[in-house]
Structure 1
Amino acid sequence: MLKRLVGGWLGLALMVVSSLACAEPAHYKIVTGPERGTYIQIGQDLSKWVAQPAGIDLEVVASKGSAENVQRMRFEPGVKLALVQSDVYQAYIDMANAGNADAGTAIRPLRLIMPLYDEEINVVVRADSPLKTFADIKDKSISVGLIGSGTAQSATTLYHLMFGQAIPEQNVQHLSNEDALAALIVKKVDVAIIVVGQPAKLFNDMNPELLQQIRLLKVDQAAPETARAKQTYFPATIRATSYPNWLKEDVPTLTVKAFLVTYDYGLRDTVGNLNHFADSLCANFDNLQEHGHPKWKQVKLELPTLVRGWKYYSPVEKHLRACLANKSAAINATAAQAAPKPRPTCSDQERLLLLCK
């Protein structure tokens, strides 16, 4: 039964995927993030393990981050997929609902494919800094990330939530992640806020001597600033095992969700290709978790209920829900096979003749 359920569905999906390999591939782009960030590695995994088997030549494009990705997803030819942070997506929706026509034009036609993983908020200071927790960054000079990046949105939203005000203009610098760390070390800024999924190449590729000149601030769970930040962000931990050459212990922090996003396409060929992408995503999900970036191990193949204003891309949603239903049936079949079978009831005569086992 299990083999028929799993083999039947996966066999059909893989037949479709393998047949596409012989066809002329569609040429699409996915916009991700900085070269040494996590988004670009996630995009590379999707290109190799999902798009290629689905007959799609998916070009992985670096970007400043989420806000730029929303704009490019909406307006740049060839961009069919994007990686976007949840707080950036929600900020666009909020601005659209408040009457900003440009925000509405950008966000309303966009659709979600699925949630991915949590990205940790790294609040970095110099090793000799007197600052201890997130609550200590008020009125300090801060690099919040490049304009157009998800980091910039997260950093400014986080500060506003914690302190009830915007970062003073004279205290803000919009630097790339690499430049922010360099500025931090030479004391041009007090704090660098970097949103990236662990383990990040940004930190693991750093010169060990430079790495020892910086450290991470912790979230104080008892602080009122933290309680206010949790209106949008969620508790998380940056693990010492993610950065063995840097961290001596785990660091409590906050996190933001990453989503895979597309457009509300109606053209038959595009719809068909994205449906094949969805089938391949389901069929090759184990490969992503086994061979892709470690963050894939935190991704669940599921479609949770969305908050108001957020919508899944309907054609892909149908394919993924069919996949989830088949996987659920397979799990139930496995449980049924593993369950002990009830012993047959014996009559008194069968017991006397030793016919009961």
Structure 2
Amino acid sequence: MTIRSLFACIGLAMLMSMHGAAAQPAQYKIVTASPSGTYIQIGRDLAKWVAAPADIELEVLESKGSAENVRRMRFEPGVKLALVQSDVFQAYLDEAKTGNAEAGNIIRPLRLILPLYDEEIYFVVRADSLMTGIHEIKNKKIGVGPLGSGTALTSRTLYQLMFQEPLPEGSAQYLTNEEALAKLTVDKTIDVAIIVAGQPAKLFTDMKPEARKYIKLLKLDEGVPEAARARKTYFPATIRSASYASWLESDVPTWSVKAYLVTYDYGLKATVGHLSRFAESLCSNFDKLQASGHPKWKQVKLELPSLGQGWRYYPPVEKKLRACIAASAMPAASPAGSVGVPGAPVRPCTEQELVLGICRR
């Protein structure tokens, strides 16, 4: 074999190797929430209808919820996407503004892909409870969700807003949804279980008609002062009886929080390329998500509204989505800038830091 032939063979082998590597789909992960929640179904929809057509194998991972998702998005290898509640994202930004360097290190490079839908907040009590309104939970024993979950952050924030004081340390129990319902109805060691999930949520759709003998939902009364204070961060919503026809007899007014699809400010060419294709696929397959995915997709709009300080879209994806939106003659908005983060003070960590999982005692 001549030298020229040898180099030709080597070149052909390299070309074939590169072609084979290019043919392999990217291996990405998305962190969601518990198996009984809505996030995990949204993640599966994205894997099937958006990632797969973009040549991405998207593994859908369970988690405790939004607060944990933020940290895993930031640090866990392979996690390129996360589902995060708006109040959790804002809580990290607020901690960063106070001088918490760890919170700033976690949140500063995270970027938004798309606002999704509103998640309803369920205030569950025993059927024989004398409470009827959400504003009556003050000083009650409350299952607030696991440490590291978005539910725990939401529970604490809502309580603080409504009653203008922190949730008492002895009142909060950090429990999973299933544990909280058991403590509520079997042990009767808590008075309220707070659960955040977009309807219809599997946890409640699986309930049988006799569930109404054991539990009920508290209602939002928009006329009370507590409601006016909570409206600064949360939005009125309705839990529809049609979502849980087997046990819920009438619609229940409540609060909701926005869900976002989040990524990292990646600069690696291959990752930028894959996420750009993900955005193109999201645009071209959006109708399939709404037609065949979880019912919550019908509430999602393919638009990029203006963001508050510290919130930023991921530029490569934003570019693709804005082009899609413009082609569809939909309105678009410009992103806001980022916020700088000073160094962290040496001090005891707060309960909010503990809930966010950035506590260092």
Question: Do both share a fold (TM > 0.5)?
Answer: yes
The 2-side partners of 1:307 and 1:180 are apart by 34
The 1-side partners of 2:73 and 2:40 are apart by 15
Question: Which consecutive unaligned segments of at least 5 residues does structure 2 have?
Answer: 1-21, 331-361
Whether 1:296 aligns to 2:297 is yes
Question: In the alignment, which residue of structure 2 is the partner of 1:129?
Answer: 129
Equivalent residues of 2:86, 2:258 under 8 A apart: yes
Amino acid at match of 1:155: S
Whether 1:252 aligns to 2:219 is no
C-alpha displacement at 1:247, in angstroms? 1.2
Equivalent residues of 2:208, 2:246 under 8 A apart: no
Aligned residues: 309
Equivalent residues of 2:49, 2:289 under 8 A apart: yes
Amino acid at match of 2:269: R
The 1-side partners of 2:211 and 2:280 are apart by 45
The 1-side partners of 2:329 and 2:64 are apart by 38
Q: Deviations over 1:167-218 (max 9, x none)?
A: 1111110000011111110211100000100000001113443453101000
Amino acid at match of 1:269: A
The 2-side partners of 1:173 and 1:162 are apart by 19
Aligned with 2:23: secondary structure?
coil
Question: In the alignment, which residue of structure 1 is the partner of 2:92?
Answer: 92
Aligned with 1:328: secondary structure?
coil
Q: Larger Rg: 1 or 2?
A: 1
Question: In the alignment, which residue of structure 2 is the partner of 1:63?
Answer: 63
C-alpha displacement at 1:23, in angstroms? 2.4
Q: Deviations over 1:217-244 (max 9, x none)?
A: 0011100000000010011111110110
Whether 1:264 aligns to 2:285 is no
C-alpha displacement at 1:27, in angstroms? 0.1
Question: Which consecutive unaligned segments of at least 5 residues does structure 1 have?
Answer: 1-21, 330-357
Equivalent residues of 1:203, 1:211 under 8 A apart: no
Equivalent residues of 2:208, 2:247 under 8 A apart: no
Amino acid at match of 2:129: S
Amino acid at match of 1:95: E
Amino acid at match of 1:102: E
Equivalent residues of 2:211, 2:247 under 8 A apart: no
Q: Deviations over 1:71-111 (max 9, x none)?
A: 00000000000000000000000000110001000000000
Question: In the alignment, which residue of structure 2 is the partner of 1:26?
Answer: 26
Equivalent residues of 1:212, 1:246 under 8 A apart: no
Amino acid at match of 1:98: T
The 1-side partners of 2:73 and 2:212 are apart by 35
The 1-side partners of 2:51 and 2:283 are apart by 12
The 2-side partners of 1:34 and 1:74 are apart by 20
Equivalent residues of 1:116, 1:259 under 8 A apart: yes
Equivalent residues of 2:199, 2:243 under 8 A apart: yes
The 2-side partners of 1:207 and 1:170 are apart by 33
The 2-side partners of 1:325 and 1:154 are apart by 35
- Show structure 1 runs of 4+ deviating over 3 A: none
Question: In the alignment, which residue of structure 2 is the partner of 1:3?
Answer: none
Question: In the alignment, which residue of structure 2 is the partner of 1:226?
Answer: 227
The percent identity for this pair of structures is: 67
Aligned with 1:253: secondary structure?
strand
The 1-side partners of 2:326 and 2:232 are apart by 33
Equivalent residues of 1:124, 1:214 under 8 A apart: yes
Q: How does 1:24-173 map to 2 (within 5 A)?
A: 24-173=24-173
Question: In the alignment, which residue of structure 1 is the partner of 2:354?
Answer: none
Amino acid at match of 2:285: N
Aligned with 2:328: secondary structure?
helix
Q: Deviations over 1:313-333 (max 9, x none)?
A: 00100000000111118xxxx
Q: Deviations over 1:261-307 (max 9, x none)?
A: 00000000000000000000000000000000000000000000001
The 1-side partners of 2:324 and 2:210 are apart by 48
Q: Calculate the aligned-residue CA RMSD, in Å.
A: 1.2
The 2-side partners of 1:212 and 1:82 are apart by 37
Question: In the alignment, which residue of structure 1 is the partner of 2:315?
Answer: 314
Amino acid at match of 2:193: A
Aligned with 2:329: secondary structure?
helix
Amino acid at match of 1:154: T
The 2-side partners of 1:66 and 1:190 are apart by 24
Alignment TM-score, normalising by the size of structure 2: 0.84
